[in-house]
Chains A and B, each alone.
Chain A
Amino acid sequence: MSKVGQQLYLSSSPHIHSGETTVKVMRAVLYSLVPACAVAVYFFGLSALLVLLLATVGCLATEAVCQRLMGQPVTIADGSAAITGVLLALNLPPTSPWWLTLLGAVIAIVIGKQVYGGLGSNPFNPALVARVVLLISFPVQMTTWSAPAPLGSGLDLVTTATPLGAWKNAVMLTGQAPVELQGGLTQYFLGNMPGCIGEVSALALLLGAAYLLYRRILTWHIPAAFVGSVVLLSGLFWLVNPAKYPSPVFHLLTGGLVLGAFYMATDMVTTPVSTRGMLVFGAGCGLLTVLIRLFGGYPEGVSFAILLMNAATPLIDRYLRPRTFGVQAGKG
């Protein structure tokens, strides 16, 4: 008779697990942001590094304080607050004063996340909540852009306008697109343009996103639908009046589109869970982004678009449930 000495686990199936954990998922997202952070530091120097550090430490500290105050276990080691911090920094101008960055961190964690119950419960992307609050409250600091001054170039940071801002100004003043926008599409792609810390290099962001796709943390649905709808809609306007409206490629490479489509709009907590829902979510983000960019008061609309679609997520989840196996379409 085989004897069983120690404790035996009794449970209902399954008895094995993939080994994937929330911490591993969060860590992978952080790794994927390394190239974008590195490029930002290269183009904007120590000031970008300072914003990154302040935002991350600020988010971690705020989360710890919140959880301590509420008598909950402190879970800052799960990586989610760190991600919010890094993403917030990537959504701030490189010249953000220290108090602005810290205030953003507090807003992101307190108003964006903890008031709803912490990880998994927040309806809006916490980093974007903070960015938009700051943008509305401190428009000057939030729209003071500096031209990139690559490390070792000896250049000082010089105040200038983002490509999208320059276009909007020109259209408002003359009704026409500016004759020549600073830089060019290749420079935009590499990140050599003014903008938020993380908005500048599409290349670095795509590298990180490729890693997340490979790790299956990201699925293609939201980014593809987002980018696709931006290309379609902006392409339509551009074909009708290329003298006024910028090309789809310009839309893709400038502003926060790549950052938004691959990182902000793909935040798992605040986006739909079904495949069809994700496609609708992404398409809605793209649609709103183009409309705000072309006709809104702000030159950039990515953040607003994503937050609006975050608000629509419960509705999307409710009405776009996957068709259950064995159930005919339209019957449940």
Chain B
Amino acid sequence: MCAAHDRLTEMKLKTFAGGIHPPDNKQWSAHKAIEDCPLPAELIVPLAQHIGAPAVPCVAVGQQVFKGQEIGSAKGFVSVPVHAPTSGEVVAVENRPHPWGTSLPAIVIRADGEDCWSPELEPADPGELSPEEIVEKVRQAGVVGMGGAAFPAHVKMSPPPEKQIHTLIFNGVECEPYLTADHRMMLEEPERILQGVALLQFVLGVERVVIGIEANKPDAIALLTEMCAGTPVEVIPLEVKYPQGAEKQLIAAVAGREVPSGGLPMDIGVAVHNVSTAAAISDAILDGRPLIERICTVTGPAIREPKNLRIRIGTLLSHLVDACGGLAEEPGKIVLGGPMMGFTQLGFDVPATRGTSGLLLLRHEDVPLHPEGPCIRCARCVQACPMNLLPTTIGAYARRDLISEAAEYRALDCIECGSCGYVCPAAIPLVQAIRYGKAAILAKKRKA
């Protein structure tokens, strides 16, 4: 592993322009093998867990459900069903606190402890399935992008016929500090990932398949490189730099091409899936099992024992904390996801969803609280911006409600990675101001 690491440091690694180097803080959990989180007594499964229309409930209170049984049906093309994470009784269909910061419809299931799979779920032989059948099974299994954005996977698997995909990129970058869920998955369950890779390759009929991994995971790079030897799959180590795992930046690093402004990767013949999504696709086809669990890194200085947990969707955060030995210290901030793009929570009474890649607990002293000062035009944000924008200018316009000016400086191209806010010595909330500006631009467009 050390030799592999030395080789990586000597190589000229691929990457994108711009970006930042925050401390990765992965040492807390990177060496911890994936552990099964104990099954909680009650699971709260939100119907909205993905980008697109929320699912609609198809079970009633009092009904017994099997593990993996569909309990919420998809509504529309950009939508996926949700499934019971364990067997038990539906005890409520009502609004519950949701990680998005409000109360949203959820199905509450009291576990019966049997954890009994639905007998209707059957493994399939992928050799006998057509690409369309595979896509449909992936949709039925509720697979969404596992990197955090939770975009329904089947949509990306069925590009319109005029968009021929020639390069399929798997995202094993995990550039968010602290998070190690994808890293552990690559180390411990590479077969699941590679089966999913093969399925996606077949569905999209692509020539080039790449797995991109940041060079701070030399063990995963070495393992996957070895396993992919003799296959068309190429493992590419990437420079350790945030946001290397952002879709556009990953494509730029791996394929040397830029996704056009306002466009999608498929516009340049590329599709990107997270490695964990590939694993979920493999489960959906080979085992016939829907997406009811995921790996989640519970970490940060305020947790007693950081871990990589295999959790059921719908597990309350409080249960995750208990599974990690409880709190070491009073938390100052509860973050779902990573510290660069994650969402803060009001408490531990919200459930983990399909997009919950991490639960990060920061102490009070870890929360940066510098008073904001005037911009000294140091241009650090300009150098850091992976989209080549002028964050200080856009932010200043947005804060003055000069919306068309913010749009003229291409605020809508911002991917909200937060690099500008991270580097700003004047502690100006740059990405936050730009987010506000983007929302205002879109609102104005809708009105027009």
Identify the A interface with B (CB < 8 A).
1-2, 4-22, 24-25, 78, 80, 118-121, 217, 219, 268-271, 273-275, 278, 317, 321-328, 332
Instruction: With A14-B341, A15-B344 as known contacts, state yes or no: A21 contacts B370, CB within 8 Å.
Output: yes
A22 and B318: CB pair below 8 A? no
14 contacts between A and B (CB under 8 A): A1-B349, A8-B333, A13-B340, A15-B367, A17-B421, A17-B422, A18-B425, A21-B427, A22-B376, A268-B377, A274-B382, A324-B410, A324-B413, A326-B413
A22 and B431: CB pair below 8 A? no
Q: Is B260 an interface residue (CB 8 A)?
A: yes
Q: Which residues of B contact A9 (CB under 8 A)?
A: 332-333, 344, 367
B388 and A119: CB pair below 8 A? no
Q: Is B409 an interface residue (CB 8 A)?
A: yes
A273 and B335: CB pair below 8 A? no
Identify the B interface with A (CB < 8 A).
20, 22, 177, 248, 252, 258-263, 318, 321-322, 326-327, 330-335, 339-349, 360, 362, 364, 366-368, 370, 373-380, 382-383, 386-390, 392-393, 409-410, 413, 416, 418, 421-427, 431-432, 435
Whose C-beta in chain B lies nearest to the C-beta of A26? B376
B261 and A324: CB pair below 8 A? yes
B343 and A13: CB pair below 8 A? yes
Question: Which of A5, A19, A273, A328 lies in contact with B377, CB distance below 8 A?
Answer: A273
| C-alpha spacing A17/B362, complex, angstroms | 13
Q: Which residues of B contact A317 (CB under 8 A)?
A: 390, 393
B318 and A1: CB pair below 8 A? yes
B378 and A13: CB pair below 8 A? no
A269 and B388: CB pair below 8 A? no
CB distance from A264 to the nearest CB of B (A): 15
| C-alpha spacing A321/B318, complex, angstroms | 48
CB distance from B269 to the nearest CB of A (A): 15
Question: Which of A5, A12, A268, A321 lies in contact with B330, CB distance below 8 A?
Answer: A5
A326 and B332: CB pair below 8 A? no
| C-alpha spacing A288/B333, complex, angstroms | 53
CB distance from A309 to the nearest CB of B (A): 14
Question: Which of B388, B392, B393, B431 lies in contact with A324, CB distance below 8 A?
Answer: B388
Q: Which residues of A contact B422 (CB under 8 A)?
A: 14, 16-18
Q: Which residues of A contact B344 (CB under 8 A)?
A: 8-12, 15
Question: Which of B260, B345, B431 lies in contact with A14, CB distance below 8 A?
Answer: B431
Whose C-beta in chain A lies nearest to the C-beta of B321? A2
Q: Which residues of A contact B321 (CB under 8 A)?
A: 2
Q: Given contacts A6-B364, A8-B332, A15-B368, could you give 5 more A-B pairs where the C-beta distance is less than 8 Å?
A: A11-B344, A22-B376, A270-B377, A324-B388, A327-B261
CB distance from A145 to the nearest CB of B (A): 34
B374 and A118: CB pair below 8 A? yes
CB distance from A108 to the nearest CB of B (A): 17
B330 and A18: CB pair below 8 A? no
Instruction: With A268-B377, A321-B409 as known contacts, state yes or no: A10 contacts B346, CB within 8 Å.
Output: yes
A15 and B362: CB pair below 8 A? yes
**Closest CB pairs A-B (n = 4):** A14-B418, A17-B368, A120-B374, A326-B261
Instruction: With A2-B348, A13-B431, A269-B376 as known contacts, state yes or no: A324 contacts B334, CB within 8 Å.
Output: no
Instruction: With A2-B327, A8-B331, A15-B362 as known contacts, state yes or no: A326 contacts B259, CB within 8 Å.
Output: yes
Q: Which residues of B contact A323 (CB under 8 A)?
A: 388
Q: Which residues of A contact B409 (CB under 8 A)?
A: 321
